[in-house]
A and B are shown apart, each in its own frame.
Chain A
């Protein structure tokens, strides 16, 4: 077992831990806005760590720099925030239930007002 394998193992484990935490968060957190937080972090950080591991593995195995993962990362980093944003917008629109310790409701109200000027 050399240092590359240790490093690879570290990134795989790191990604796994982030994913696990994200999944637990999705299941346990009390309301929509909080739950939105957990999986988006899991995708960015968890998948990011796994992609680094994958890039290292294929670069060493094939002897050529592996470029796929960078592309995947770009796509992911562009799309994940937008989908989170869209979900949040929908939540504002349909007025999901809010737990009592959710913070920053002022932002939500502002967004709602801008969405629907008639209110």
Chain B
């Protein structure tokens, strides 16, 4: 079972070019080719069993809870596409070796290319819808990188942005569609989905699913009206165009339609959308291609037209048309890749792609010219070449159409018209470039390219001929196999021979040839006619739209985010109110059935003090220090309430947090304006008061409703298992370090991140430092009074002793790493206050960032440690030991985890406070600036 390795090998191969770029360009290309080559060999080795009708399937659990698995699935269609991707990919690697100049970063280019190859292989081999989408988006991203490879060019950047926006947006639509499919079918597994076609088609949401999935496919395959990104993607290096824009990425949309053909096709809606889009794209692309003077522009529009043709075939709802679609996928990939490569050679050797200047190159590069001419003839549908065969099939199918009712005759006529233009632009490609007089003012004298640059083109052109002459032998089995997996059943009868006798399709081909040559001959008139129309530049329109969107967004953001904290709080509370009010109205009775506790005097006084403190803070908010004091009353009463209602751990934590918060607020107040201006007008006062009242009312109601209802919680489990399972009698601590250890780990990680974020914000901050207080009194010159300094210093060991005590007893009695960490922080901050930053800096050489990091590392490693004993992450271990003199004591791994928590808390708190404090010292940037 090597299926898994087929996408994995190229994925590993992405680093190969990056590592081997120093060995020179030829070796670089060689090394780069090895992983895809191995993958191709692997694929070929798996091919026989697929030809025997097997579907190879390999699956790994990814997120089983969400129904996601890493599934790879190889059937006929996937085999065909994987062969195209790897085969043409290898040719492109060889070609790019000669195409890129020494100035280009070739290793990077190859890395992007191989990444893209991985993504494409991932799409075609995915057996899971979400996984398919993931690779789908990866192709968008890697194609963005490839198109913008020459990022110094403005058009490359714009083209890449446009491609990413269009295909990325389509990808989002596709995700929505796939999620709906998964919802309807009940599984994201492709095999399950493919087997539930009827279920999907009869579901009420089918039109929505269809439109969403088709949006994804149409944007990727450049179908009208999303076709405009493809011509602009031509700013990419030509190997990219040969690979992405002919053979692979633009075929991803086609692949998607073919993949979901068994489940989504077969309805009126499918026919209407897919065939009409295909028809319009076919005609539009073919018509515009004729007028493009840029060689690659012509090929881009021709690609759009051919993609439209395939889409039209897929939308025709006859089984034979589907076979024709698969056949044309193969043919188009082969001739278009070779044409792009030829165009790249011409550009490379003559310095321009402008067909008004490129003339008569036959004399200069006969070999390349022959190859390009054969490929172009195949594109035009000349007999004995592969393009002819699929075009004949296409014509035959258009004749059988009845779905448009009495207007059905239009389909073959329009198809012939499209073919006429196709012949005309192919004729232009051949005649304008290789004949038609002498070259005009070329930057270089054209000559044949290096020998090996032609090899990929030769191989592809040889395939064009072989397929055109011996179709049954060369491609018959593969075509049958791929078509079977698209149709999901028996194949209709078809014949791959070149000669079917004189019939209507042959006549249509003949008409197309004749009409095309006539049009090309009279092209001057047509060009003059076309020049009357203004030519809109999609790039400018797109940029304009993007700019408009950006302006609109920033206008909205400016309205919401104007820097006023009051407004943020107002909006936040308003949103919370709106969200909470609904469920609250549904709740019928506020009062539950729980009997209430008796009211005692102490609690009552505490509650009154709490309310008074809160109200006083609001009323006194302009007197900064006083309101800080009233605020601390609130904090103290809350911690007393915790102690009163049997939550000593919370009380301790609240107390320490309160202290730290007060210091933080004092530090922050130093930098804020010394006096708060009176700015609220009466209307605003009423607005704010009513919002605050409403929020308070809602929160109060919620709390009241909560506490008057019997609570069915898992507390009982924790209480029972705390000692036996976690080895501690302090249930709160055991919950923190054991039962919910993962949560704690996440929380301290967030704390550490927040501290680092704050540090980053303030480390280079330049703040205005007031030299006097609000009343104009200068600060006291005695910054660090000796008595305070000496006493604080002598208190430090005592305080640290307390924190060690609190830490150690945490597992069995109120305490633990978090509280101990806060106590240590307070003790050290006390030193900062008493001695000043400069004094501490010389004595306490601790890097707080490292402290946070090592704390997290210790906590994480403790968690990982349990893996070595075959237990889940963060399972704690404990046992009892005895030592002489000390007696019996307990050791628990939870303690090490708690140490990690402790270090993180100390590091984070000090990182914030010490750095805020540092802003006031002579080392702060502001002070330096003043000097």
Contacts and interface: CB of A to CB of B under 8 A. Distances in A.
Given A74-B798, A75-B798, A79-B795, A115 B781 contact: yes
A75 B795 CA distance: 8
Nearest to B780: A93
Given A82-B787, A82-B788, A89 B795 contact: no
Interface in B782-828: 782, 785, 787-788, 791-792, 794-795, 798, 802
Nearest to A75: B798
B785 A89 contact: yes
A116 interface: yes
B791 A79 contact: yes
Contacts of A116: 780-781
A37 interface: no
B777 interface: yes
Interface string A63-94: 00000000100110011001001100110011
Contact of B791 (A78, A89, A94): A78
A74 to B, nearest CB: 7
Given A78-B791, A79-B791, A94 B777 contact: yes
A89 B782 CA distance: 10
Contacts of B792: 82
Nearest to A93: B780
A78 B793 CA distance: 12
Interface string B771-782: 001010100111
A85 B777 CA distance: 20
Given A78-B795, A79-B795, A115 B782 contact: yes
B798 A86 contact: no
B670 to A, nearest CB: 15
B812 to A, nearest CB: 16
Contacts of B785: 85-86, 89
Given A79-B791, A82-B787, A82-B788, A89 B798 contact: no
Nearest to A114: B782
Nearest to A89: B785
Contacts of B794: 78
Contacts of A89: 780, 782, 785
A74 B794 CA distance: 12
Contacts of A94: 773, 775, 777
Interface in B359-390: none
Nearest to B795: A78
A71 B782 CA distance: 31
Contacts of B788: 82, 85-86
A85 B785 CA distance: 10
Interface in B145-197: none
B518 to A, nearest CB: 102
Interface in B451-492: none
Nearest to B791: A82
Contacts of A115: 780-782
A75 B777 CA distance: 33
29 contacts: A71-B802, A74-B798, A75-B795, A75-B798, A78-B791, A78-B794, A78-B795, A79-B791, A79-B795, A82-B787, A82-B788, A82-B791, A82-B792, A85-B787, A85-B788, A86-B785, A86-B787, A86-B788, A89-B780, A89-B782, A89-B785, A90-B780, A93-B777, A94-B773, A94-B775, A94-B777, A115-B780, A115-B781, A115-B782
Interface of B: 773, 775, 777, 780-782, 785, 787-788, 791-792, 794-795, 798, 802
- 5 shortest A-B CB distances, which residue pairs? A93-B780, A82-B791, A115-B782, A85-B787, A82-B788
